[in-house]
Every structure is written in C-alpha cells, then in structure tokens.
C-alpha cells in the first residue's frame, strides 16, 4: 500500500514538476516572442504596414503613359515592375513617395506614384508594385493602353458622385471589368468624402474600387466634396495628366488626347470657393481649346467634363444650375460654344438629364444630327443618397430627357466610333437595363459661332470621300482604284482614265526628253530672242541705277 501511495505521490509530483517546467518554458518563450515583436516594431515596420493597398492607375501625360499609385501605412520606396507577358523581361521603375498629413494612426498615409512612359498603344501590360523588400509585392494586375489609329472604337465608363455607400457598387465594378473600358471618368464627389474619418473613408473607397481602378485608368475632376483643406486628399491620392504631384491646389485642370478625342477636364469649384483662380483656369481653358481647334482633323471630338452642370431641371432653386445667372453657365457656355465643344458632362445633381444641343438657354434643334451647339449630360445617378434630387418639372425646352427618384442606380457608357459618330447611353447598374441613349452625328466639327464652310475639293466628290475615309487600308492606291472598297468601284472607269492619261503624258515626256532639253538650251543660251530679252532687262536696271 505504502509503496503504491508513494509511487502514486512520486508520479503526481513528477507530473506537476513536468507541467510546471512546460508552463514556464511556454511563458518565457511567449514573453520572448513579445519582446522580439516589440523590438521589430521599433526598428522595422511590420509587413502588414508595408503591404501596398488602394492600387489605382491613370493616364499619364499622353495616352501611352500610365501613372500607377498606391498607399502603405508605413514609409517605403515606390517600385513598379512591368512587362508585356514575359516576366523575365520585366522593367523596374522607381517612383516617388509622399506623406499625406492626417492624424489617423491606422491610415495608409504614405502615397506612392510611379510613371511609365512611352508604352505601346493598344497593348496589354502586366505589373506589380512593391517597396524596398520584395516581400511586400502586390498581386499582379494588367491594363491595356488605348489604341491610337483612326477607326478604332473608344469606350468609357462615366459617372459622378460615387461613394462607399452606393448600393450597387459591386454591380458597377463588375460591369467595368466585363466591358473592359478604356478608362473610367468619375466627374467629382469621390467617396463622400476622401478625408472623412481622418482619411478612413478615402482608404476604404480606394480599396473598394481597386479591382477596377488597378486595371483601367481612373480619371477624376474635383467636386465640392473634395474641397476639404484645399483639396488635400484629392491632390495627394490622385495624379492626373500633365500635372505635377501632389497636384497643385491652384491648377486642378488638365486635358488629354485619346484617339480622335480631346478630353478637357476642369474644376467648377473655382467659381464657388476659389475665386482667385477663376481667371487662371479660364485662360488655360481658352488656350487649350484654341489649340485643340487647330488640330481638329486629328482630334475632331472635344469632350469637356467638370463636376457641376450648367443646365439642370432639379426642383431646388438654390442650386447654381437653376439660377438665371448660373456661375458655371455664365463663365463657360460662351467659351464652349465658340470653341465647338461637342459634349459637356457633369455630375453634382443626383439624377440624370440629357439636353438638346443648347445655347443661351435655347435648344438650337431637336435632334443630334450635325448639332449646332454643345450637348449637356448630367450623370450624378449614383449619389451619396441615391437620386435625392427631385425633378418634377423640366427646366426648359432645352431639356430632352430626365430621370430622377426611380431608385435605380445607373452609369453612363460613352463610345466614340469614328470622327463623325458618338454614342451615349445610360444603363442601370443592377441589371444593365438601358435607360437612355443618343447618337451624336457630327461631320463638321468646328467652333459653333462660325458658319459651316465648304471648301470644294479639287478632286470632286470622289476625292472628298477618299480623303474622309476612316479606314486605314482605304487610304492607299487600291482604294483610289476602288480595288478594296466596294463603294468606290463605280468610279473605276474615271479613275482609270485619269491614271492612264497621266501615264501616257509621262511616257511621251520621257521619249521626247532630249528634244525638249535641247529646245530649252537653244532658246535660253544661244538664240537671239532670248539674248534680246536679257539686254532689255540689263538696260532697264541700268536706267534705274
Ligand atoms: C438645395 O441646394 C442648396 C445648395 O446646394 C443646398 O444647400 C440645400 O441643402 C438644397 N436643399 C435641398 C432640400 O436639397
Ligand atoms: C462611323 O461609325 C458609324 C457607326 O459604327 C458608322 O455607321 C459610320 O459608317 C462610320 N463612318 C465612317 C466614315 O466610317
């Protein structure tokens, strides 16, 4: 018995000692780990704080430059590696890092920008981003650069007023991925607001849109919801073409040519909060649009976008667009008319409206064939609180279509087919149902205050067609002869006659070249009449002197 008890006792004590040792070891190990972790935090930021997030891209200074941006919680270098399919040939580009001044300890306040230059048009590029350590490398994303040749289709997603609480955001993002737009234009009021919660809402929004914004250029203009602290968050979190970064508060406007389109993006906020910059922006707009009008054969379409509309049919008479002397309209309409801006797109009002071609509050026509004034679109249909802006009466005879208070979140799809045909449509996010559409057919892009001038083409109608032809292949001799296009086949006889005549004249010239040359020589160097003429000239000059 005793020995049994003793054994048992010894057994228990042994177990207790063993447990004690194990426990101590575990505790000491744990505390060591905690200490180590603390040390590492002091010396080196954790991997999590260096992980790139909110990756988004935008067009650089031209359609073949791409700007890549992201954010991290801790400071790190900014590196992009990109290639066109062969990882071995990846090119590494180092960019800049900036710190956004917020008090949010957990915010991703280190912002990174890398610019890729001279990419090939219409080519798919793969890229990832990382910092100093390759352990921080992001997922791989890809984007496709816009095509530049005439005859290519260009399609864009367009909307304003999108925030983190937009109900159909997931549908919207899926639509963007399905359609593979060339770019997305978000015409102001971003995230509601980028700066809210010390930037937490901005961080959240940019993480939400990453799967789209990392794959297609996300182009923006500032709205009234971006104006906090002199547009601080907007200027740091985005980087737009032909602007330094962070974007200067007194220069939040830019333009870029993509294929046949000159996009001009401006800030309507100067008219409300930033009056010292009105003249600066208007001068820039005029200079930019004057230049665009000298290049209208290359970029026939001019599309202008700014946050606030100059025409609207909302009920609220306090809105600028409802006022008789709307600041936006009185500042911009005359300029856009005299510079021949084809389409003006805005947001701000949380509803949708399309106007007829309109000038000075009057529709100039009730269709879109050869418009004689700009057409206006307001697409604020994603709104912070959906479609909160009521519209019970149309604002004037210039209004062509209004959609408000239907509870259906929708977006715009802009397609430019060629120099003459542009298509605009609005679709519901949730089911892609068509809400509205129009074709603008404009064969005579020009300042609208100038009469339409026809300069007859010396080659006649046939030559006119040949010059206007959009098809690259159709610009060659084959098309002139009518060999490639069926349209021109009727004129084959005429063309053949012209060509044969030219050929015959050339052959005769070649055969008689000796005679012709000797005739010229005889006439001008040896024969009397020529000398006589010379003498007269001499005597004349002599008399004058
Ligand atoms: C009407 O518009 C003004 C100016 O934007 C705004 O401050 C006000 O809240 C609006 N009123 C309503 C009822 O939406
Ligand atoms: C431009 O595109 C439209 C729509 O696809 C087409 O009907 C039209 O023929 C095209 N014009 C030219 C000149 O190619």
Note the pLDDT of residue 42.
54
In a 13 Å sphere around the CA of 84, the CA atoms on its Cβ side amount to 9
Q: How many residues does the chain have?
A: 545
CA–CA distance, 209 with 338 (Å, rounded to integer):
38
Residue whose CA lies nearest to ligand 2 atom number 3: 421
Tell me the CA–centroid distance for residue 154 and ligand 2, in Å. 13
- What residues have CB less than 8 Å from 215, skipping those under 6 apart? 57, 141, 142, 143, 177
Look up residue 369 and give its DSSP letter: B
Ligand nearest to the CA of 319: 1
Calculate how far, in angstroms, residue 300's C-alpha sits from the geometric centre of ligand 2. 14
Distance CA 139, CA 214 (A): 10
Query: b/e per residue, 182-216, with b = 16+ CB within 10 A?
Result: bbbbbbbbbbbbbbbeebbbbbbbbbbbbbbbbbb
Q: What is the DSSP letter of 302?
A: E
Task: Using the mean position of ligand 1's atoms as its centre, give its distance from the Cα of residue 325 in Å.
Answer: 17
Alpha-carbon distance 432 to 410, whole Å?
Answer: 8
Please tell me the predicted confidence (pLDDT) of residue 523: 61
Q: C-alpha angle 147/223/187, rounded to 5°?
A: 25
> For a pocket test of ligand 1, which of 227, 315, 318, 320 has the largest count of ligand atoms closer than 8 A to its C-beta?
318
Q: How many A from CA of 225 to the centre of ligand 1?
A: 14
State whether the beta carbon of 165 lies less than 6 angstroms from ligand 1. Answer: no
| Residues 6 or more apart in contact with residue 531 via CB below 8 angstroms | none
The pLDDT of residue 533:
44
pLDDT reported for residue 472: 39
358: left (phi over 0), alpha (psi -120 to 50) or beta: beta
Specify whether the CB–CB gap between 158 and 412 falls below 8 A: yes
Q: How far is CA 263 from CA 190, 274, 279, 406, in A?
A: 20, 23, 20, 31
Q: How much is the pTM?
A: 0.78
Which ligand lies nearest to the CA atom of residue 439 in the structure? 2
- Answer yes or no: are the C-beta atoms of 465 and 354 closer than 8 Å: no
CA of 417 from ligand 2 middle (Å) equals: 7
Q: By the 8 A CB rule, do 106 and 148 touch?
A: no
Site of tokens 């639509």: 175
Tell me how far the alpha carbon of residue 18 is from its chain's centroid: 69
- The pLDDT score that the predictor gives to residue 141 is 98
Per-residue pLDDT of the chain in tens (545 residues, 90 and over written 9): 444 444 444 545 544 444 554 444 444 444 444 444 444 445 678 999 999 999 999 999 999 999 999 999 999 999 999 999 999 999 999 999 999 988 788 899 999 999 999 999 999 999 999 999 999 999 999 999 999 887 899 999 999 999 998 889 999 999 999 999 999 999 999 999 999 999 999 999 999 999 999 999 999 999 999 999 999 999 999 999 999 999 999 999 999 999 999 999 999 999 999 899 999 999 999 999 999 999 999 999 999 999 999 999 999 999 999 999 999 999 999 999 999 999 999 999 999 999 999 999 999 999 999 999 999 999 998 876 655 788 888 889 999 999 987 778 999 999 999 999 999 999 999 999 999 999 999 999 999 998 776 555 555 556 555 555 544 333 334 444 433 333 333 455 656 767 777 787 878 878 888 887 877 677 656 555 444 444 444 434 333 33
Kindly identify the ligand whose nearest atom is closest to the C-alpha of 390.
1
- The closest ligand to the CA of 322 turns out to be 1
Residue of 153, 260, 415, 418 to test ligand 2 pocket, by largest number of atoms within 8 Å of CB: 418
Cα–Cα distance list, 140 to 63, 118, 180, 205 (Å): 22, 21, 17, 20
The ligand minimizing its distance to the Cα of 260 is: 2
Place of tokens 């040359």: 517
- From the CA of 385, the nearest ligand is 1
Q: Is 323 in the pocket of ligand 1 (CB under 6 A)?
A: no
Q: Please tell me the distance from the alpha carbon of residue 404 to that of residue 352, in angstroms, as a whole number.
A: 6
pLDDT of residue 468: 52
Structure tokens at 190: 């971003």
In this structure, the residue with its CA closest to atom 13 of ligand 1 is: 316
CB distance 319 to ligand 1 below 6 Å: yes
Q: Which atom of ligand 2 is nearest to the CA of 420?
A: 1
End-to-end CA, the chain? 153
SS3 79: strand
CA distance 115 to 61: 9
Instruction: Tell whether ligand 1 has an atom less than 6 A from the beta carbon of residue 30.
Output: no
Q: CA-CA distance, 102 to 233, in Å (whole number)?
A: 9
| Two tokens, residue 91 | 């090119």
Q: How far is CA 95 from CA 81, 130, 532, in A?
A: 11, 11, 77
Alpha-carbon separation of residue 287 from 162, 232, 284, 303, 493 (angstroms): 31, 27, 5, 16, 48
* Gap from CA of 420 to ligand 2 centroid (Å): 7
Find the 411 Cα to ligand 1 centroid distance in Å: 23
Cβ < 6 Å from ligand 2: which residues? 417-418, 420-421, 470
Q: How far apart are CA 332 and CA 345, in angstroms?
A: 13
Write down the pLDDT at residue 525.
60
**Could you tell me if the CB of 103 is within 6 A of ligand 1?**
no
- The whole-angstrom separation of Cα 384 and Cα 350 is 8
User: From the CA of 315, how far away is ligand 1's center (Å)?
Assistant: 10
Residue closest via CA to ligand 1's atom 6 equals: 318
Angle at 258 between CA 120 and CA 159, to 5 degrees: 120
DSSP string, 247-294: PPTT---EEEEETTEEEEE--TTHHHH-GGGHHHHHHHHHHHHHHHHH
Residue 316 Cβ < 6 Å to ligand 1: yes
Cα(299) to centroid of ligand 2, in Å? 16
- Give residue 481's pLDDT: 43
Distance 486 CA to ligand 2 centre (A): 15
Q: Which residues pair with 377 in a beta bridge?
A: 345, 354
Answer for the pair 182, 146: CB distance below 8 angstroms, yes or no. Answer: yes
Q: What is the DSSP letter of 317?
A: T
The Å distance, Cα 321 to ligand 1 centre, comes to 12
Q: Which two tokens stand for residue 271?
A: 């008219």
The token pair at 368 is 């879109």
Q: How many CB atoms lie within 10 A of CB 267?
A: 28
Distance (Å, whole) CA 340 – CA 284: 16
Please indicate whether residue 318, judged by its CB atom, sits closer than 6 Å to ligand 1. yes
Question: Which residue intervals of 339-405 are DSSP H helices?
Answer: none
Cβ atoms of residues 299 and 152 within 8 Å: no
DSSP letters of 130-156? E-SSGGG----EEEEPPP-STT--EEE
CB 114 within 8 A of CB 95: yes
């Amino acid at each position: 018995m005793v020995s049994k008890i003793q054994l048992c006792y010894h057994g228990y004590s042994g177990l207790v000692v063993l447990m004690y040792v194990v426990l101590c070891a575990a505790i000491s190990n744990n505390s060591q780990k905690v200490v180590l972790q603390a040390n590492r935090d002091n010396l080196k930021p954790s991997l999590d704080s260096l992980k790139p997030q909110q990756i988004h891209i935008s067009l650089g200074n031209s359609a073949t430059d791409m700007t890549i941006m992201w954010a991290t919680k801790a400071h790190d270098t900014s590196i992009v590696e990109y290639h066109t399919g062969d990882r071995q040939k990846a090119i590494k580009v180092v960019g800049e890092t900036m710190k956004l001044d917020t008090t949010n300890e957990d915010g991703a306040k280190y912002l990174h920008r890398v610019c890729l230059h001279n990419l090939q048009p219409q080519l798919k590029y793969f890229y990832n981003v990382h910092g100093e350590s390759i352990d921080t490398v992001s997922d791989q994303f890809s984007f496709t650069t816009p095509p530049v040749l005439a005859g290519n289709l260009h399609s864009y997603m367009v909307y304003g007023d999108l925030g983190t609480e937009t109900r159909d955001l997931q549908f919207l993002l899926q639509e963007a991925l399905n359609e593979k737009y060339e770019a997305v234009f978000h015409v102001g009021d971003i995230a509601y607001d980028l700066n809210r919660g010390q930037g937490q809402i901005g961080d959240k929004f940019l993480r939400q849109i990453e799967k789209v914004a990392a794959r297609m250029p996300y182009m923006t203009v500032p709205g009234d919801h971006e104006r906090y602290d002199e547009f601080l968050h907007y200027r740091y979190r985005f980087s737009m073409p032909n602007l330094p970064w962070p974007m200067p508060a007194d220069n939040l406007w830019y333009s870029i040519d993509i294929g046949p389109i000159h996009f001009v993006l401006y800030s309507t906020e100067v008219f409300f909060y930033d009056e010292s910059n009105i003249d600066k922006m208007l001068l820039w707009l005029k200079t930019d649009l004057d230049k665009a009008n000298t290049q209208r054969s290359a970029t026939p379409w001019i599309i202008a976008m700014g946050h606030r509309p100059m025409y609207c049919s909302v009920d609220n008479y306090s809105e600028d667009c409802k006022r008789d002397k709307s600041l936006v309209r009185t500042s911009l309409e005359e300029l856009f008319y005299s510079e021949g801006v084809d389409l003006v797109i805005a947001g701000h009002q949380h509803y949708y409206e399309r106007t007829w071609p309109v000038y000075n509050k009057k529709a100039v026509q009730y269709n879109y064939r050869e418009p004689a004034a700009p057409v206006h679109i307001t697409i604020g249909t994603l709104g912070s609180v959906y479609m909160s802006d009521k519209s019970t009466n149309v604002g004037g005879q210039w209004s062509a279509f209004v959609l408000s208070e239907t509870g259906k979140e929708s977006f715009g799809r802009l397609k430019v087919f060629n120099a003459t045909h542009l298509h605009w449509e609005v679709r519901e996010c949730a089911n892609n149902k068509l809400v509205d559409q129009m074709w603008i057919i404009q064969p005579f892009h020009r300042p609208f205050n100038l009469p339409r001038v026809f300069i007859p083409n010396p080659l006649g109608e046939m030559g006119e067609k040949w010059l206007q032809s959009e098809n690259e292949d159709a610009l060659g001799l084959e098309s002139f002869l009518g060999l490639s296009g069926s349209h021109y086949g009727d004129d084959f006889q005429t063309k053949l006659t012209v060509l044969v005549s030219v050929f015959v004249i050339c052959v005769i010239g070649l055969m008689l070249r000796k005679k012709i040359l000797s005739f010229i020589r005889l006439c001008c160097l040896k024969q009397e009449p020529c000398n006589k003429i010379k003498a007269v000239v001499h005597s004349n000059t002599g008399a004058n002197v």
